[in-house]
Chains A and B, each alone.
Chain A
C-alpha cells in the first residue's frame, strides 16, 4: 500500500449513501484517500478548502444537473483535475450522455461518463488511466 503522505485524494459525491459506502471501500482498498459528500451543496463547501486529485460525481442530486454544475465548479478552480460523472440517468431515463464528442465536451465539463450500475474494476481502471499512473 502507498504511504499515507503520497495517497491521492478522491472527492466522491453522491446522494445515495450505499453508493458512497461501497465506492469508498473499493477506493480505499486501492490506496486512495476518499472525501465523501452527500449533496452538491456539501461538495461545493468542501471544494473551498480541499483540492482533490480526482472527482467522482453523481449527476442528479438535489438538483437535476448537480453533477454538471459541480464538474464545472471543479474544473474552473482546478482545470487539471479529472472529473468522472457517474449516473443512473441512462438506465432510468434512456438519456444517453457521453463525453466523447466535441459537441458534448463543449458543455459537459467531465472527462468521463460512467453509467450506473458501475463495475468496480472498470472504475479503478478508468481512474488510473485519468491519473496517468
Chain B
C-alpha cells in the first residue's frame, strides 16, 4: 500500500484529531492504479507550524484551514507554492465566499471542504483530490520518459552522423598531406570509401526524414483502394540493380490484383525495406521471395531470403531504432539502422504487425501483416 503523507492544519484540536481519525483508517482504491492508497497523518495548529513542517518534509496532501489565528490559510498557500503533481491542497473553511475561493484556487488550492462536514464528505473530497494528484504524477512521469527516449534518439543519431564524417575527414586529411606519396591506387581506394560513407549518410538522412514525417503525422496520408500487386512490381524494379550486383533472384509470388485501402507510398516504403534487406543480407547468387496473400481483411507480405540469418537473440533486438546486428557477416553491409523501425511504425498505422523468423546461415523471413479495410480518405 502506498501511504500519502498528509498534513492537517487547523487551530481547533477537535477538527485536527477528527480528520486524522477518519483518514488514518481510510484506504482508497484507484481504478487506474493497481494500488491501494492510505494516509499517514501529521498535524499542525498554526500557519507558522505548517510552513515549518512543509519546509522540512513536503506532504502529498495538505488540508488547510482558511481561518488560522495569526496567519491565514491564504498566506500559508502563498508561502508553500506547490506544483500540481507535488502536493494537492484542500481548503477547510466555514464561510466560503466566491472571493476567498478564487484567491485560494489562484494560489494552488484544488478543492474546498465546508465546515462542518461529515466523515463521508471528507473522504469524498480527499478521494477526488488524490485521484487528481496521482494522475498528475503519472502524466509527469510519462513526459519525463518521453523526453528521455527523445534524448537517447538524438544522442545516437548524433553519433551515427558523426562517424561517417570522421571517416571522410580522415581520408581528406590523408590525401591532403599526400600520406601515401605517389601511390595513386591507395588514393582511389580512399575516394571510393568516402563515396560509400557519403551514400550511407544520405540514406540515413532520407530514412530519418521518412521516420519524422510518419511520426509527426505531417506526411499526408492518401488512403485509397490500390492494387498492392502493382506496388510490389515497382518495389521489385527498385531493388533489381542491387540484386543484380550480387546475382540474386527476386521473385514475386502473388495474385494480380490484390486490392487494399492504403497509401501507396507507405506500402512502397515497407516493400522497399523488406526487399532491400533481403538482398543486402543475402549471399551471392541467393534469392528473395516476396509472397503476398489476402485473407479476409488482412494482407500479409512475407519476404524470405537465403541469407546470413540471425540468432534468436539478434531477432529480439532487431526492431529498435538504429539497431544494426553487428557481426563478422554484416560488417561490410551498409545500413542506417532505421529501416525496420520505419516498417514497424507504418504497420502500426494499419493496425498491423511485423514479425521475423530466422535461422543463422539459412535465411530469414520477415512478415508484415496489414489491415486492408481502413476507411479511405
Q: Which residues of A contact B (CB under 8 A)?
A: 15-19, 21-22, 25-26, 28-29, 38-39, 41, 62, 92, 117
Q: A15-B328, A26-B174, A29-B179 are in contact. List 10 more A-B contacts (CB 8 A).
A: A16-B167, A18-B170, A22-B171, A22-B190, A25-B190, A29-B180, A38-B331, A39-B328, A41-B328, A92-B159
A-side contacts of B159, CB under 8 Å = 92
Cβ of B193 within 8 Å of any chain A Cβ, yes or no, is yes
Given contact pairs A25-B174, A25-B186, A92-B159, A17 touches B179 in the complex (Cβ within 8 A) = no
Contacting A at CB under 8 A, from B169-187, are 170-171, 174, 179-181, 186
Q: Please indicate the chain B residues that have their CB under 8 angstroms from the CB of A62 in the complex.
A: 326-328
**Which residues of the other chain, B, contact A25 by a CB distance below 8 angstroms?**
174, 179-180, 186, 190
- Chain B residues with a Cβ under 8 A of chain A: 159, 166-167, 170-171, 174, 179-181, 186, 189-190, 193, 197, 326-328, 331-332
Is the beta-carbon distance between A17 and B174 smaller than 8 angstroms? no
A18 touches B193 (CB 8 A): yes
Majority-rule SS of A interface residues:
helix
Residues of B contacting A: mostly = helix
Return the contact of A15 from the options B167, B197, B331 (Cβ within 8 A). Answer: B331
| Cross-chain pairs A/B with CB under 8 angstroms, 24 sampled | A15-B326, A15-B328, A15-B331, A17-B332, A18-B170, A18-B171, A18-B197, A19-B167, A21-B189, A21-B190, A22-B167, A22-B174, A22-B190, A25-B180, A25-B190, A26-B174, A28-B180, A29-B179, A29-B180, A29-B181, A38-B328, A38-B331, A62-B327, A92-B159
Residues of A within 8 A of B180 (CB): 25, 28-29
Provide the bound-state CA to CA distance between A19 and B332, in Å: 13
Q: Which 3 residue pairs are nearest across A and B when measured between Cβ atoms?
A: A18-B167, A22-B170, A29-B179
Bound: A120/B331 CA distance, A: 24
Q: Is the CB of B189 within 8 A of A117?
A: no
**Alpha-carbon separation in the docked complex, A17 to B179 (Å):** 18
A residues in contact with B181, CB < 8 Å: 29
B331 partner residues in chain A, CB cutoff 8 A: 15, 17, 38-39
Known: A22-B171, A25-B179, A117-B166. A17 touches B328 (CB 8 A): no
Residue of A nearest to B187 (CB): A25
Q: Cβ of A21 and Cβ of B193 under 8 Å apart?
A: yes
Assembly CA distance A100 to B159 (angstroms): 28
Complex CA gap A22/B180 in Å reads 10
Q: How far is the CA of A16 from the CA of B167 in the complex (A)?
A: 10
